[in-house]
Amino acid sequence: MPHTLPACPQCGQENTYPDGDQFICPDCAHEWPQAVAASAEDDAKGDGVVRDANGNPLQDGDAVILVKDLKVKGSSSTLKKGSKIKGIRLVDGADGHNVDCKTDLGSMLLKSEFLKKA
């Protein structure tokens, strides 16, 4: 049976499980209501608004924080969890890379699901 539960909005891991009317992530102990997760998924699918890991809408110029370590493709460098990125630009990137930004490692495209609004 395929895994149909949402990934944790805090750490991005997919080990979540339902507990009553909440989802729980055993990796980071984050809890969030199932109703919020369902409505965030519905919103993200159809309205064309770019949303962060917690379902908050993002806009050009926002500051964001990484919610997990990200390995930089083609490099041995890693963007660390908790790094703040200022002045993002929203783009229609390939493979869901919809945020253009400048980091300590240079300019790059990131997926909004690994960011939270600062």
pLDDT one-digit tens code per residue, 34-90: 765 555 555 445 567 888 888 899 999 999 999 999 998 888 999 999 999 999 999
Round to whole Å and give the CA distance between 37 and 21.
Answer: 11
Q: Is the pTM of this model over 0.75?
A: no
Longest dimension (CA), the chain: 44
- Running DSSP on this structure, what letter comes out for residue 26? T
Domain 1-47 sits in CATH at 2.20.25.10
Q: Quick one: pLDDT at residue 73?
A: 86
Q: CATH number for the 64-117 domain, one of 3.30.70.3270, 3.30.470.20, 2.30.30.40, 1.25.40.10?
A: 2.30.30.40
Residues of the chain with CATH 2.20.25.10: 1-47
